Structure 1
Amino acid sequence: MQTPILYTQALMLLGGAVVAAPLFKRLGLGTILGYLAAGIVIGPVAQSITEGEEILHVSELGVVFLLFIIGLELKPSRLWQMRRDIFGLGTAQVVATGLVLSFLIEFFDLLPWTGSVIAGFGLALSSTAFAMQILEENNDTNTRYGQRAFSILLLQDLAIVPLLALIPLMATRAPEATTTPFEDFALAIAAIAALYAAGRYLLNPLFQVIARTGARDVMIAAALLVVMGAATMMQLAGLSMAMGAFLAGVLLAESSYRHELEADIEPFRGILQALFFMAVGLSLQLGVVAENYLLILIAVPLLMAVKSLVLYGLCRATGSHHNDAVRIGLLLPQGGEFGFVLFTAAAVAGVFTQGVASLLVAIVTLSMALTPVAALISRRLLREQDDMEDEIEEDFEGAGADVLMIGFSRFGQIAAQILLAGGRDVTIIDHSAARVRQAATFGFRIYFGDGTRLDVLRAAGIEKAKIVAVCTQKKEITDRIINLVQAEYPNARIFARSYDRLHTLELRAQGVEYELRETFESGLLFGRKTIEALGVNGEEAIAIMDDIRRRDEARLVLQEAEGITAGRHMLHSEPVRPEPLVKPKRDVNHTAETEERILPQLPTGDNERAGETLARAD
């Protein structure tokens, strides 16, 4: 029986992805280059698959699904907050980069002015798929520079609409227009309005009905229908499919089914986006590259340099510090997938020849291939100080309270709730600009500053504070702050977040008044709730939890005196027989005396065989 060619091609693509992506990831080059390399080997080199452009059209659904998922993460209110970056920075980037590239193409007499404009503005667009994949791999999607980069990409997706409308005006054999520009604009507005109405009044009831059936496969089908339906509607209205999917995601961002939709779409998005990168490699025309290799060797780095410099300058001019401007400039220097659409349409309309379109596609493809390399280079150009200071001015006006809290991650946020509920003022300082901004929106009195600096502590009112609460995450940072406070303010009362048991012993040796391991109490409560769920009554579960807490404190006292291995007989390493809480009968020695002083009521059943390793556990 002969294997259908479709199955054979699918096997080759899947095999190439499975082999190349982990290999390139292991080499530190990223999965994108791996997919590209696999596509080039399977297509142009081995000639195993020759329908690269057809596969590219199908795989563009990966970009559509990607923008839908991005839209799910952006509520309309948050999108409104990004409007300046989208319509300000994004528009400036497209216009400035397009004009510079058009001028260079015209200056070197490569194309007539009409072709120069289309080519220049087409090359000004960047790849949403490549950029967002890199941001996701580095977990930078929600960083400040990641959000600005996304804003630029979003405007570029919008820009494809007027650029496509510009082609008939410059074409030598433009088709007869069946509609006026006003009609096209009205159609686009009507499509957006229809999508908005559907998202607001139809989608949630639809998903409610499907959810009641409990049919997960139907829910997945509905999610795919929503994404592809919205994308198709926008395409029929003359807009991009990616824009339609993005708008559908934004409309569902506040839906109670948002996480379910994201989970259903994610597998399809991942495999189609990988296929997109491989299709780019498949469609690379090595013959065109070989014939024009000298021009391409000059054009690709020149394109990336121009776009990077324009992006860097615009980002700096609009408030980004050096590091963010460098990251954005070297994240978006490539041509984009929408350039393929624009160049093909221009060739069909006669703005330039099909050979020129193939050459531009080759330039875009190679610039895409070099994007992960550019992203790696950006790390060498960063300034450490910029990331530390994050360009927020240290303003401590109004600081000074009963408690000075240093560090405001999850641990500090929970502790602050108790203090504020008790009617106490808390002054909080944190070195993370993003955390400061986020906490300030909830009304906390929080200031940006480095708690390891004496001048910051003084400005934050340490001399007025009755207690200094050190809630930083890293052990070494906590130790630096405590050493500084004890050296300058020896009478300060210090409460500290401890990293683990060894850190607790070190803090006690330093004379810290109170310390708490960050996971200890939550672990106790988790264990208590678990045994209650297994049938132990509430009072007995609380007694067991209190017993473990007393045992732990007794172990700590012993370990302070005798070392980390002391007290290991107090650990439970196997089930204890339920018995009344009575005083243990043990031989009197130094250890027993200490235990009886601290633990007058311990249950029997101590396990003497607990190892030294367990003595180090929390």
Structure 2
Amino acid sequence: MDGFLLQTTIFLGTAVIAVPISARLGMGSVLGYLLAGVLIGPILGLVEHSEDLLHFAEFGVVMMLFLIGLELDPRALWAMRHKLIGLGGLQVLLTGTAITAGAIWMDQPVKTSIALGMIFALSSTAIVIQTLSEKNLMKTGGGRSAFAVLLTQDIAVIPMLAILPLLAAGPILQIATDGSIHSVGDDEAHAAEISLVEGLPGWGVTLVTVGAVVAVILAGRYLVRPIFRFIHSANLREMYTAFALLIVIGIALLMTMVGLSPALGTFLAGVILATSEFRHELESDIQPFKGLLLGLFFITVGSQIDFAGFFADPAPILSLTLALIFAKAVILFGLGRVFGLRGRDQVLFTLSLAQAGEFGFVLISFALQQHVLEPALAEELMLVVALSMLITPLLFIAYDLLTRRMSDSAEIHPDDEVDEQGPVIIAGIGRFGQIVNRLVRSAGFRTVVLDHDMRTIELMRRFGVKGFFGDPTRPELLHAAGLAEARVLVVALDDPKAATKLVAFARRDRPDLHIVARAHDRHHTFELFNAGANDIVREMFDSSLRAGRYVLENVGLSEYEAAQAEQAFYKHDRYTIRELAQHWDPKIPTVENRAYIARAKELEKELEMSLLALLETERKEQD
């Protein structure tokens, strides 16, 4: 017991230090956990036997697949079916087939080669999604296509876990109810297992197995909701967590008892519950356990990687890793071409998914338990997966370098010839600019719409709204759109820096022009104010103000009082912006700007006093 507690303390302590450092360096939490395991295992030798903890941590994989199922609303899956089945399905199939063929060519057994194909067909969901989000690339064509492929890969893990036992070449290992791994041929372990299919004829096994799956579906559909309502009446927060864990552990136990993968049952239950009103409650209850157990899983994997063997002869592992990345990149490049990706989107799609992923560790461990892989081969595969994931940041750096050189390439559409002018120029026709454009045009005024996203321009043209493609920050495009004669310029660009640049240029060129600008946040508001914008609208300010008014109406104020408070807050915020702009310095972080903080506190106190005085006056007048 003392040894287990010491080992757990070492693992958790290392994770608490290593993972935040990894996240700050932009490598992501998964790589942080792996590096933590490498540090306490091969490097420092603080842990020697982590198998027991690994068996416990493997239950995090079961929880992860349950959460994946919860996120897969069947209606959303149906809407994405073309990309999921087409792009994602072909990626998994072609990559798996190519790697299987390559393994057979390298004299690996057919069953082992099939397992290798499944392991390396997957990419790193954790690293890629996090990096795409950090670089604001999720909304690009390449980012959306990469997400679709990653979603398909996550779903594909389920049949892979079901197929691997069929490839077993020796005694099959199973996950017991306590999370430990036991051999089916082990008499002692076998006696401890509770099986619902042992001794049954083939048709009986099939009937019981199908019955268990149907029971999971029916329970998720009709039983979970009443139980949740019953628990809700107790008003005890810990009971929600207990019930969420009961669902996952109970289904995993049932699947084990009928000889199926626990992950398969929990994933299926997650999909069934994806449309439930308790979906988010379940997700929030399970998420901490999933994250902790998965972190322990990756740490134990890292602690078991044989880096001593790698440094003794690094050439074979490096060669296999680079060959894997090259093979996946070629297949991804071809698929991207077939599915209409070009230029930057195609490069992003190709490089972002060319590595192996964290599910590769899961499948390697599972295949090792099933005796599909030899221990020596499994160690080499873990090294290949780990190295390919460590190389992923370099692939994104390569993307940045390549796309910079492509900035003047044929990928960029030539700017449209602007043949219209009007009193209102709208730069940026995203969600913000669309509303402005519809309102102004509906009131009978002509607008000239400019945007640098060709897809957005083409979409607007389908709805009968004419727009011109080009970079709105280019002076020649603005002058062609009638900047010299325009009365109002609306700056609705997504990029804060580009928006500030456009406002500054327009103010220099037309001192008398009225400029309405979209601000990302308060700091961007100050930048636009200094650049010369007349009216500045923060993205979330007006909608948040309306929400606040609705709150006031439902906590005791009348509609009139709430509207007055909303208007007073709005006017005071305008005044606050002008006041704080005098103290704001872009060279000084806000938390270190004492004058700014002191004035902000004074203004907040003034707001509170003025609102209370206003409401008191209104009540007296009503009385």
Query: 1:333 is matched with which residue?
Result: 355
Q: Report the Cα distance in structure 2 between the residues aligned to 1:268 and 1:59, rounded to whole angstroms.
A: 10
Query: 1:167 is matched with which residue?
Result: 167
Pairing 1:148–2:173 present: no
Q: Report the Cα distance in structure 2 between the residues aligned to 1:187 and 1:141, rounded to whole angstroms.
A: 44
| 8 Å CA contact retained: 1:401, 1:465 | yes
Q: Out of 9-18 and 124-133, give the one that drifted further.
A: 124-133
Q: Report the Cα distance in structure 2 between the residues aligned to 1:76 and 1:393, rounded to whole angstroms.
A: 41
Query: 2:248 is matched with which residue?
Result: 227
Query: 1:211 is matched with which residue?
Result: 232
TM-score by length of 2: 0.68
Aligned counterparts, 1:96-245, within 5 A: 96-109=94-107, 111-128=108-125, 131=128, 143-161=143-161, 163-164=163-164, 166-167=166-167, 171=169, 193-231=214-252, 240-245=261-266
Could you tell me how far 1:344 is from its partner in structure 2?
Answer: 1.7
| 8 Å CA contact retained: 2:124, 2:353 | no
Deviation per residue, 1:436-457 (Å, 9 max, x gap): 899999x896969456068988
Change in Cα spacing, 1:446 to 1:345, as seen in structure 2 (3 Å) is farther
Pairing 1:344–2:342 present: no
Change in Cα spacing, 1:256 to 1:431, as seen in structure 2 (3 Å) is farther
| 8 Å CA contact retained: 1:402, 1:464 | yes
Q: Out of 320-329 and 534-543, give the one that drifted further.
A: 534-543
Change in Cα spacing, 1:540 to 1:122, as seen in structure 2 (3 Å) is closer
Q: Secondary structure at the match of 1:500?
A: helix
Could you tell me how far 1:130 is from its partner in structure 2?
Answer: 5.4
Q: Report the Cα distance in structure 1 between the residues aligned to 2:119 and 2:561, rounded to whole angstroms.
A: 71
Aligned counterparts, 1:31-42, within 5 A: 31-42=29-40
Q: Out of 36-45 and 521-530, give the one that drifted further.
A: 521-530
Aligned counterparts, 1:213-362, within 5 A: 213-231=234-252, 240-286=261-307, 289=310, 293-328=314-349, 329-334=351-356, 336-341=360-365, 343-344=367-368, 348=371, 353-362=374-383
| 8 Å CA contact retained: 2:432, 2:492 | yes
Q: Secondary structure at the match of 1:334?
A: coil
Could you tell me how far 1:113 is from its partner in structure 2?
Answer: 4.6
Query: Aligned letter for 1:43?
Result: G
Deviation per residue, 1:463-500 (Å, 9 max, x gap): 99996543335565346556888999999876444653
Q: Report the Cα distance in structure 2 between the residues aligned to 1:138 and 1:125, rounded to whole angstroms.
A: 22
Q: Out of 7-16 and 247-256, give the one that drifted further.
A: 247-256
| 8 Å CA contact retained: 1:160, 1:240 | no
Could you tell me how far 1:267 is from its partner in structure 2?
Answer: 1.7
Q: Out of 377-386 and 311-320, give the one that drifted further.
A: 377-386
| 8 Å CA contact retained: 1:36, 1:280 | yes
Change in Cα spacing, 1:372 to 1:118, as seen in structure 2 (3 Å) is same
Could you tell me how far 1:271 is from its partner in structure 2?
Answer: 1.6
Q: Out of 178-187 and 469-478, give the one that drifted further.
A: 178-187
Query: Aligned letter for 1:320?
Result: L
Change in Cα spacing, 1:522 to 1:84, as seen in structure 2 (3 Å) is closer
Long gaps (5+) in structure 2: 173-183, 186-197, 586-594, 615-623
Query: 2:590 is matched with which residue?
Result: none
Deviation per residue, 1:352-385 (Å, 9 max, x gap): 6443344334433444444455455444444586
Deviation per residue, 1:38-60 (Å, 9 max, x gap): 21232234443233344333323
Q: How many residues align?
A: 561
| 8 Å CA contact retained: 1:288, 1:358 | no
Deviation per residue, 1:156-211 (Å, 9 max, x gap): 3144156426526xx48999999999999988776555444333323233222222
Could you tell me how far 1:278 is from its partner in structure 2?
Answer: 0.5
Q: Out of 175-184 and 474-483, give the one that drifted further.
A: 175-184
Give the percent of matched residue pairs that are identical in Structure 1 and Structure 2: 31
Q: Secondary structure at the match of 2:233?
A: helix
Pairing 1:4–2:2 present: yes
| 8 Å CA contact retained: 1:49, 1:282 | yes
Q: Report the Cα distance in structure 2 between the residues aligned to 1:547 and 1:557, rounded to whole angstroms.
A: 16
TM-score by length of 1: 0.69
Change in Cα spacing, 1:527 to 1:157, as seen in structure 2 (3 Å) is closer
Could you tell me how far 1:282 is from its partner in structure 2?
Answer: 1.8
Aligned counterparts, 1:423-434, within 5 A: 431=452
Change in Cα spacing, 1:573 to 1:201, as seen in structure 2 (3 Å) is closer
Query: 2:89 is matched with which residue?
Result: 91
Pairing 1:471–2:492 present: yes
Query: Aligned letter for 1:500?
Result: T
Q: Out of 93-102 and 400-409, give the one that drifted further.
A: 400-409
Change in Cα spacing, 1:312 to 1:555, as seen in structure 2 (3 Å) is closer
Q: Match for 2:525 among 491, 494, 500?
A: 500
Query: Aligned letter for 2:167?
Result: I
| 8 Å CA contact retained: 2:517, 2:528 | no
Q: Secondary structure at the match of 1:472?
A: coil
Change in Cα spacing, 1:229 to 1:102, as seen in structure 2 (3 Å) is same
Aligned counterparts, 1:69-84, within 5 A: 69-84=67-82
Q: Report the Cα distance in structure 2 between the residues aligned to 1:415 and 1:151, rounded to whole angstroms.
A: 35
| 8 Å CA contact retained: 1:388, 1:431 | no
Query: Aligned letter for 1:59?
Result: A
The structure number with the bigger radius of gyration is: 1
Change in Cα spacing, 1:218 to 1:20, as seen in structure 2 (3 Å) is same
Aligned counterparts, 1:532-547, within 5 A: none
Deviation per residue, 1:66-94 (Å, 9 max, x gap): 34334434322211122233332333223
Change in Cα spacing, 1:493 to 1:290, as seen in structure 2 (3 Å) is closer
Q: Report the Cα distance in structure 2 between the residues aligned to 1:259 and 1:464, rounded to whole angstroms.
A: 53
Could you tell me how far 1:302 is from its partner in structure 2?
Answer: 1.9
Could you tell me how far 1:144 is from its partner in structure 2?
Answer: 0.7
Q: Out of 94-103 and 283-292, give the one that drifted further.
A: 283-292
Q: CA RMSD, aligned part only? A: 5.6
Query: Aligned letter for 2:3?
Result: I
| 8 Å CA contact retained: 2:27, 2:127 | no
Q: Report the Cα distance in structure 2 between the residues aligned to 1:279 and 1:372, rounded to whole angstroms.
A: 23
Could you tell me how far 1:277 is from its partner in structure 2?
Answer: 1.6
Long gaps (5+) in structure 1: 581-618
Query: Aligned letter for 2:77?
Result: L
Q: Report the Cα distance in structure 1 between the residues aligned to 2:280 and 2:487, rounded to whole angstroms.
A: 44
Query: Aligned letter for 1:299?
Result: L
Q: Out of 329-338 and 286-295, give the one that drifted further.
A: 286-295
Query: Aligned letter for 2:364?
Result: F
Query: Aligned letter for 2:231?
Result: I
Q: Match for 1:23 among 11, 21, 24?
A: 21
Could you tell me how far 1:11 is from its partner in structure 2?
Answer: 0.8
Could you tell me how far 1:531 is from its partner in structure 2?
Answer: 9.2
Change in Cα spacing, 1:493 to 1:274, as seen in structure 2 (3 Å) is same
Q: Out of 331-340 and 272-281, give the one that drifted further.
A: 331-340
Could you tell me how far 1:260 is from its partner in structure 2?
Answer: 2.4
Could you tell me how far 1:16 is from its partner in structure 2?
Answer: 0.7
| 8 Å CA contact retained: 1:35, 1:274 | yes
Change in Cα spacing, 1:46 to 1:140, as seen in structure 2 (3 Å) is same
